[in-house]
Structure 1
Amino acid sequence: MAKPNKKGPTKTVDIFCSQCKTQLFKYRKGGKGALVKCFIERISQDFTSTPCICPQCERLFARETIIRGAPAYKMIGGKVTFK
């Protein structure tokens, strides 16, 4: 399979914890669908201190994985929202 486009889309979305509403990432998302995964190379700003854990409520919101040969965070359903 092909790797994701490194430059990626120019539109950024803000990703928040669904429990405490703390901002987690600014992410360059493509398409209109749900947020299932975040490629690490597309994260423009990271507000977390430890990967995949909310800095405010310390809840696990994603798992680190490799998708199409690139490191990514696989989101756990219902743990994050985005605008």
Structure 2
Amino acid sequence: MAKPNKKGPTKTVQIYCSKCRALLYKYRKGGKGALVKCFIERIVEDHTKAVCICPECDVVFGREMLIRGTPAYKIIGGKVTMK
């Protein structure tokens, strides 16, 4: 399978918790679709204290897994929003 683009996209989005609106990540997202996964190498700023857990309300918003052989966070639908 193909690996994600090494250079990565230039568009940066901010990812927030849907429940408490706390900032979770600043992420270089490619494409214009919904946020399904976050490749760890594309995260610019990480504001979480534990993996895939909101620092404010302690909601689990994703799972750590390998996607196309690259470490990533698989996002649970409806748990995060992005701007």
TM over 0.5: yes
CA distance in 1, matches of 2:2, 2:35: 20
What's the RMSD between the two structures over aligned residues? Answer: 0.5
CA distance in structure 2 between the partners assigned to 1:7 and 1:15 by the alignment = 21
Distance across 2 between alignment mates of 1:10 and 1:71: 20
- Counterparts of 2:6 and 2:52 in 1: how far apart (Å)? 21
The one-letter code of the counterpart of 2:70 is A
How many matched pairs? 83
* Residue identity in the other structure for 2:4: P
CA distance in 1, matches of 2:7, 2:13: 15
Alpha-carbon distance, 1:2 to partner: 1.1
Residue in structure 1 matched with residue 26 of structure 2 by the alignment: 26
Gaps in structure 1 of 5+ consecutive residues:
none
Q: State the 4+ residue runs in structure 1 displaced beyond 3 angstroms.
A: none
